[in-house]
């Protein structure tokens, strides 16, 4: 099944300078937001108390937030969890209160508002655990990028590897920048989404690289830019079909999945959009800038038993 019918001849690489400027602007905004505003870490990283409460009937969140604010918990995060009768409350640690005392005060305040509330779960995350999760999460992304760099060098050719890694760093930085700019919650689910985006974007990039390598070996005429353009036109239908169907699922999750997975689904939506763009423009442009050519991708010649040069 093809989304775009007929033979395409879109000059993708003719717009690569515009794409470089656009990416530069987006990365500058992302880095500025990250430096000036920082990420709004959830209790997975900062430590704190998580309380899951069940109500006998559907409840509005604003009265619960008002009750918690009156009890001294102004910064509490309150979300529906699964249904309008289930509520998830996240509270940052307070220096002058133990976790057990803090949770008791929250429960007492909620029961004053509604005597039928039932505590389903109470969890504590220490600041040290949060710090370890932050460090391990950053290392996970670094190890993933190093592994990808090695894989692309072995699977294709070394000039392809930096382009793939640059595209992945580009995608991750823009997503993190959006979360910093708008102060969306950044928790373990968002970190999982970032790792998923790395895998998704890499898969798309490898499909493009595989077609570029095939066309460098098959097309006898044409410059490197023309061959890359041809390869992108041949794969664009598959790329768009995959991205659109994935976005349909992620949009459904964002709209109907509830507040708990809003950050997760938003990170994936951003990742699919930016990853599709980077596979076309960032990865391919970087590979061209490194000077990939036919000689780099043609099979090596070896001597056969008769002494004739033959291809392998």
Count CB-CB contacts under 10 A for residue 148.
Answer: 20
Which domains, ranges and CATH numbers included, belong to the chain?
Answer: 13-39+129-296 (1.20.1640.10), 48-125 (3.30.70.3400)
Measured CA to CA, the distance from residue 98 to residue 116 in angstroms comes to 26
Residues β-bridged to residue 91: 49
Distances in Å between the Cα of 84 and the Cα atoms of 52, 55, 78, 120, 255 are: 13, 9, 12, 15, 15
**Confidence class of residue 298 from pLDDT cuts 50, 70 and 90?**
low
Q: Are 141 and 195 in contact (CB under 8 A)?
A: yes
pTM of the entire structure? 0.80
Residue 284 in this model has a pLDDT that exceeds 70: yes
Among 113, 54, 263, which Cα is nearest to 179's? 263
pLDDT, tens digit, for every residue of 44-95? 777 778 888 888 888 888 888 888 888 788 778 888 877 788 888 888 777 6
Sole residue written with tokens 């000039």 = 159
């Amino acid at each position: 099944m093809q989304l775009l019918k007929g033979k395409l001849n879109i000059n993708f690489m003719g717009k690569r300078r515009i794409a470089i400027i656009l990416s530069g602007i987006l990365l500058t905004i992302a880095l500025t937001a990250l430096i000036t505003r920082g990420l709004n870490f959830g209790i997975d990283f900062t430590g704190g108390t998580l309380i899951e409460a069940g109500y006998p009937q559907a409840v509005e969140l604003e009265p619960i937030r008002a009750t918690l604010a009156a009890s001294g918990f102004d910064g509490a995060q309150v979300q529906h969890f699964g249904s309008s009768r289930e509520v998830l409350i996240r509270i940052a640690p307070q220096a002058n209160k133990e976790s057990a005392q803090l949770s008791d005060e929250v429960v007492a305040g909620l029961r004053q508002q509604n005597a039928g509330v039932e505590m389903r779960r109470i969890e504590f995350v220490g600041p040290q655990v949060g710090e370890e999760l932050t460090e391990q999460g950053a290392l996970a992304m670094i190890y993933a990028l190093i592994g990808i760099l090695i894989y692309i060098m072995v699977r294709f050719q070394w000039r392809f590897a930096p382009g793939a890694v640059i595209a992945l760093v580009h995608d991750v930085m823009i997503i993190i920048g959006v979360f910093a700019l708008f102060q969306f919650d950044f928790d373990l689910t968002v970190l999982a989404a970032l790792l998923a985006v790395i895998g998704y974007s890499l898969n798309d990039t490898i499909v493009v690289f595989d077609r570029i390598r095939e066309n460098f070996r098959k097309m006898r005429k044409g410059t490197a830019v023309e061959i890359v353009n041809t390869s992108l036109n041949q794969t664009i239908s598959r790329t768009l079909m995959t991205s659109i169907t994935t976005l349909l699922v992620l949009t459904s999750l964002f709209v109907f999945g509830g507040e708990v997975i809003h950050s997760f689904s938003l990170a994936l939506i951003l990742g699919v959009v930016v990853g599709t763009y980077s596979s076309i423009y960032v990865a391919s442009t970087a590979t061209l800038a490194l000077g990939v050519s036919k000689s780099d991708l043609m099979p090596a010649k070896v001597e056969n038993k008769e002494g004739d040069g033959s291809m392998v």
